[in-house]
Amino acid sequence: MRRLLLASSSPYRRDLLSRLQLPFDCCAPDIDETAYANEPAERLVQRLAGAKALALAASHPDHLIIGSDQVAVLGGDILGKPHTLERAMAQLKACSGHSVSFLTGLALLDSRSGRLQVDCVPFTVHFRELDEARIERYLRIEQPYDCAGSFKAEGLGISLFRSTSGTDATSLIGLPLIRLVDMLLAEGVQIP
């Protein structure tokens, strides 16, 4: 079987990929993740997912390389990773009572043939009305400062949601496994 390579250092993506029970390696790509001027969010995540996979092709010439990138979009604005308590507070206040679209770009590169599959998997979170005290309690407990949208859906962050909608809940965590399985099957990978 061809070796899989996850082009990421994200522990969240690594944990998700391990669910498929396929052996894989991880390697963080070094790419510029700056958005182009007026680049639509969907195009941005597709471009970055592909760039992450392509960045590792030369050093891994006989692999299936998985790239992924995610942004959160609220009212047309991209929400990045907050990195600080203050920014996370501001993000969650803005999300309160609103719907946020999470767009996850996914790429699978066959580094032997050069075949690149790329897609974008959307998922929407409908937030509860959140007061400042609840937001602060949540942030102090979970500290999701490395997560777009300022929450961890696989943890206590789920308590902030009124509902969700989309075809693949794993896309919310950063690696849409349902779509990835489609891509892997197209490359002849046997999945239990």
Share of the chain above pLDDT 70, in %: 100
Residue 38 forms part of a structural domain: yes
Write out pLDDT tens, residues 136-190.
999 999 999 988 889 988 889 999 999 999 999 999 999 999 999 999 999 999 9
Looking at every residue in the chain, the average pLDDT score rounds to 95
Which positions are annotated as active-site residues? Answer: 69
What's the CA gap between 13 and 178, in Å, rounded? 14
- The predicted structure's pLDDT at residue 134: 96
Dihedral pair phi/psi, residue 90, rounded to 5°: -65, -40
- Checking if the pLDDT of 39 tops 80, the result is yes
> pTM of the prediction?
0.91
- Determine the residue type at 148: A
Write out pLDDT tens, residues 90-118.
999 999 999 999 999 999 999 999 999 99
| CATH number for 126 | 3.90.950.10
Average pLDDT of the residues in 2-12: 92
Give the residue numbers spanning the domain of 161.
3-186
Token code pair at residue 59: 């050093």
Q: How many domains are there within the chain?
A: 1
- Checking if the pLDDT of 1 tops 80, the result is no
What's the CA gap between 41 and 142, in Å, rounded? 27
